[in-house]
Structure formats: structure tokens, C-alpha cells
Amino acid sequence: MDTTDIVTILAVLFSPILAVQAQKYIELAKESKNRKLQIFYILMSTRATRLTTEHVSALNMIDIEFYGKRFFGKRNQSEGEKKITNAWKLYNDHLNNNSPYGNPDIWNEEVDKLFNSLLYSIAKHLNYDFDEVQLKRDCYRPMGHENIEKSQLRILQGLVEVLDGEKAIPMTIESLSRKNN
């Protein structure tokens, strides 16, 4: 038996194993890309309604899905993933710290700026050619949705004030007349 025979036998034995491992690697990479795309799709579709549970859940998945790959216990993050996780850290830090801002409009402007920076980083990483202005302006939110949310907020705030004893429910008596039988 010569070297060619040995190599042929080894190739016949190990080819199926290597093919299965290669297929598993391809499937894992595809699943990872799909999860990243799902986060991006959710953030894009809910960018006008950022208080939804779906939006918040997608934000909270960024640390996991854009963490990078681990090799022998070490984290290996691509430049795009680093930009995304850094943009998320800045955005999250700002969301959880409103003390330096006396004016809510200034705070909200910074929220918008940081969120759009995060979206832009994700778009670039996933090979979408969106510019920052497009991400900021090109979303639709009917005024009716905003009016409903404001009404619901007013109702909830009023209910809390009543339940906390800060306000009473106003009542008027229309008539006290008795009916004669």
C-alpha cells in the first residue's frame, strides 16, 4: 500500500465528517445572520414607537447577537459588531440617565441622535445602504396613534391620581325630583 492509497482511504473516511461539520458551520452562520437581521427589522419597523415591548426586546438582544465569536474563551468581535455594541452602550446609558438634562426636549434630541447612530451602525454591518437622514426621517407614524397614546397616558395618570387620593372623581347631580305614584 503506497501513499496515494492511504490518502484515498483517509479522504473516503473523513470526507463525510468534514462535509457535515462544514454544513453545521454554514447553518450556524446563517442563523446568526438571520437573528441579527430580525433585530434590525424590528428596530426599523418600531422606530416610531420605541416604547413597544417588541422594540425594547430587540434592543436588549443587541449585546448577545452582536457579541462576536468566541474562540478558546476569547471574544473576537468584528469592527462592525464593535461599532454596534458601542453605539448601543451609549444609547442605553443615555436612556437610563436623564439627570443632566433639565429640558426634556434636549434629552429627546440626544435620544434620537443616539438611536439613529445605532440603527446606522447595524444597517452598515448588515450591508444596507441607508444614510442617517433616511433612517431618521423615513418612517410613518399616523397622528391618530400619537393621539391615542396621549389619551391613554392621560387616563392612566388620572387614574393613578384618583387611586393615590390626590384627586377625586368629579360628580354632578342632575335631578333630585321625586315621582308621584
The per-residue pLDDT for range 128-138, each reduced to its tens digit, is: 999 888 888 88
* The pLDDT of residue 60: 97
Q: Is the pLDDT of residue 50 over 80?
A: yes
Here the cell at position 148 is 391615542
In this prediction, residue 179 carries a pLDDT of 65
Q: Give per-residue pLDDT as tens, 103-129.
A: 788 888 999 999 999 999 999 999 999
- The predicted structure's pLDDT at residue 1: 80
- Domain-wise residue ranges, the chain: 3-158
CB 44 within 8 A of CB 119: yes
Query: Which spans in the chain are helix H?
Result: 3-45, 53-65, 79-95, 104-125, 132-137, 143-163
pLDDT tens digits, 63-72: 999 998 888 8
pLDDT of 181 reads 53
pTM: predicted TM-score of the whole model, two decimal places: 0.74
Report the phi/psi class of residue 99: left, alpha or beta, with left for phi > 0 and alpha for psi in -120 to 50.
Answer: alpha
